[in-house]
Amino acid sequence: MTTPLNELTATEIVAAINAGRTTCEAVARACLERITAREPQVQAWQYLNPDQVIEQARALDQSGRRGPLTGVPIGVKDIIDTCDMPTEYGSPIYEGHQPSSDAACVALSRKAGGIVMGKTVTTEFANVHPGKTRNPLDPARTPGGSSSGSGAAVGDYMVPLAIGTQTTGSTTRPASFCGVVGYRPTWGDLRTARVMESSGSLDTLGILARSIEDIALYRDVLLGVEPVPIPDNVPAPRIGFCRTHVWPRLEPATQKLLEDAAQRLARAGATVEEVTLPADFEGLEAAHRWISGFEFARNFTWEIENRWGELSETLRNGRLKDGLACSYEDYASMRELVARCRHLLAPIIGNYDILLAASAAGEAPLGLNSTVHPWVYMIWTTMHVPSVTLPVFKGPHGMPIGAQLIARRSDDRRLFAAARWVYQRLAS
């Protein structure tokens, strides 16, 4: 094969194995070789056992069993339980912790023939205190968090797929910074059993990949349904260009990239209109902060009471401080605001196939000490709508910046079709 095996997408790997052009073991070895060469610089992995990986691959080859993900190497964020690998949640409190069973998403991945390569680095409890991972395109820059290892591993061609999570922007941000496709599903669609809960009102799984086709395939696997291909020859989408109230906080280069993209898509045949959100949406930044903080602080009562000194100062003075200071009355009031905004959004977004918005304020910043820009992503996360981030822009320093596309609740498949149409016109 002309393309190195570690650079194939998941759908390409499955097709090659089914056609007899390669084997599960050969793909796994190619990914392990890439990891060996690049891990000292990128540091995407919290746990990796090459012998364990080869054992999985050989078992698949010998069985002859075929599934929608047969032979596809997958990185799993280290807040997601694995029965045969430690799960440490990005915290020294859980060093060496070994769950007794797989999370639902891991079990579904294995059932479909996927190879669990290892555990990817997460920030502490999927919050803001960074892990060791570097941006694969520039090790002096952050990869974004909290799914930092997942984004970096996919962006550096170590694996074609990785599972992340998102409570604020934990999949969208590393996708934008590492130049990959990132997907946050409609809230509640993908099971989070045995995935560490941060804020149950907001948490979802996330998928990081190098193609929109892989995202669609893996979503169906994690839904436990027969995969449905993205339809061909879809009409030009109706696009709402949504600057949102955070537009002035975006870097000027990002603003221009988005404006130029809207114009290019219109010239390509899409219907593109400016969309303004109601004033109530300006309160969502505070609402997300207090809702996520209130729920997070209750979820981590044991750690607060018993291991306070082992929590980072960043966490103690951030989300935990917010959560412990938030009254139930304020929490309930913020939930009412969020519910009102969801109601207001429905007829607005219903006029379009997708909304076009920012994925990040700009390129990945220099330094590793911040997961940055939470206000860019939290609107759409809080609204429970699906979104895809596409690697279609380059910033002033040549680093990637994503374009975020958003669709109506439960319209994820339409989102994928529109995203492919957009990608084909912006990535060239």
CB atoms under 10 Å from CB of 375, counted, come to 18
**CA 211 distance to own-chain centroid:** 13
For the cut 70, the answer to whether the pLDDT of residue 371 exceeds it is no
Whether the domain at 5-223 and the domain at 238-281+333-426 fall into the same CATH topology: yes
Q: Are strands 45-48 and 271-275 parallel, antiparallel or unpaired?
A: unpaired
For position 405, what pLDDT does the model report? 98
- Where does the pLDDT of residue 370 fall: very low under 50, low under 70, confident under 90, or very high at 90 and above? low
| Cβ-contact 240, 275 below 8 angstroms | yes
pLDDT tens for each residue of 319-336: 999 999 999 999 999 999
Task: Kindly list the catalytic residues.
Answer: 77, 146, 170
| Mean of per-residue pLDDT scores for the chain | 97
Contacts of 189 (CB under 8 A, 6+ apart): 204, 223, 410, 412
Mapped onto helix, strand or coil, the DSSP state of residue 168 is coil
- Token code pair at residue 298: 């209750």
CA distance 222 to 416: 16
At 258, which helix (H) or strand (E)?
helix 252-267
pLDDT tens for each residue of 126-142: 999 999 999 999 999 99
Contacts of 244 (CB under 8 A, 6+ apart): 277, 281, 357, 358, 379
Average pLDDT over residues 284-306: 97
| Cβ-contact 24, 61 below 8 angstroms | yes
pLDDT tens for each residue of 74-133: 999 999 999 999 999 999 999 999 999 999 999 999 999 999 999 999 999 999 999 999
For position 44, what pLDDT does the model report? 98
Contacts of 15 (CB under 8 A, 6+ apart): none
| Of the listed ranges 199-208, 340-349, 373-382, 383-392, the one predicted with least confidence | 373-382
CB atoms under 10 Å from CB of 347, counted, come to 8
For position 50, what pLDDT does the model report? 98
Contacts of 240 (CB under 8 A, 6+ apart): 272, 273, 274, 275, 348, 349, 351, 352, 354, 355, 356
Q: Per 3-state DSSP, what percentage of the chain is helix, strand, and coil (rounded to 5)?
A: 45, 15, 40
Instruction: State the Cα angle at 48 between 173 and 200, rounded to 5°.
Output: 45
* CATH class for the domain made up of 5-223: alpha beta
For the cut 80, the answer to whether the pLDDT of residue 1 exceeds it is no
Domain ranges in the chain are 5-223, 238-281+333-426
Q: What percent of the chain has pLDDT over 70?
A: 99
| Cβ-contact 338, 382 below 8 angstroms | yes
For the cut 90, the answer to whether the pLDDT of residue 428 exceeds it is no
pTM of structure = 0.98
Average pLDDT over residues 168-172: 96
pLDDT tens for each residue of 52-68: 999 999 999 999 989 99
Candidate CATH numbers 3.30.110.30, 1.10.10.10, 3.30.70.2860, 3.90.1300.10; the one for domain 238-281+333-426: 3.90.1300.10
